[in-house]
Amino acid sequence: MMVGSDNPKTADEKGHSEQSFVTITRDSLLDDAVRRRLQQQYQSVPFLTPEQQRESLAACLSQWCGGRPVHIFAYGSLIWNPAIFCKPLGPGRLFGRHRRMAMKSVFGRGTPDFPGLMLTLLPGGCCDGIVLRIEASHARDELALLWRREMVSGSYCPRWLPVKTPEGWVDCLVFDHNPSHPSFLGALPFEDEVAILSKACGPLGPNKDYIFHTVKALSAWNLRDSRMARLQEALLALESA
């Protein structure tokens, strides 16, 4: 099955009637509407130029043979809203990294005045996610869209890492942590994560919805991240209170 659709708004998002949320779709990536709108709204935030994005993509593709499909390791929103044409192959495990809300989000699910949190990978442990495949003939075009989606400000380090799947090891493109980026925070205490996630909201919607979507998407593949599950439980408890 080819995936390229966006995630529908939750009831929580609809409740923020005073704010018009941005929806990441294939069309909005094709015309670069998301970056342009965010750049107009947050002029003080440094964004990568289209040329810088192309240079970053070219550097990454220099390690690709060009004749084989490209595999991507999805560990967050790429699972439930890739917004590109790709095929989910199934679960994979990345060793040496674990999933963590460890970056500031100042123009996604937060603002410069009240930053939210973004998901990245930190060293140590392992991370279960989904392996996506892009056919070789479409790889350059689809990855150009993916760079517009993931490399808006250069907050990730794209690299090729081995991922273990039931069928064997696969070299995957992974959006890894970038400790030199201004948005990088590192590991936060659990209580601080909950406090930020429960209140932050930005152009992409409430920060806590990111947790809900990701936990649901992992569950659909019979995967579980214990910290993400704990965050969801704490956020739901605050809602009910």
The one catalytic residue in 18, 150, 191, 193 is: 150
Does residue 135 carry a catalytic annotation? no
Tokens, residue 142: 């689809």
- From residue 51, alpha-carbon distances to 54, 61, 173, 182, 202 in Å are 5, 15, 21, 20, 26
Catalytically active residues, by annotation: 150
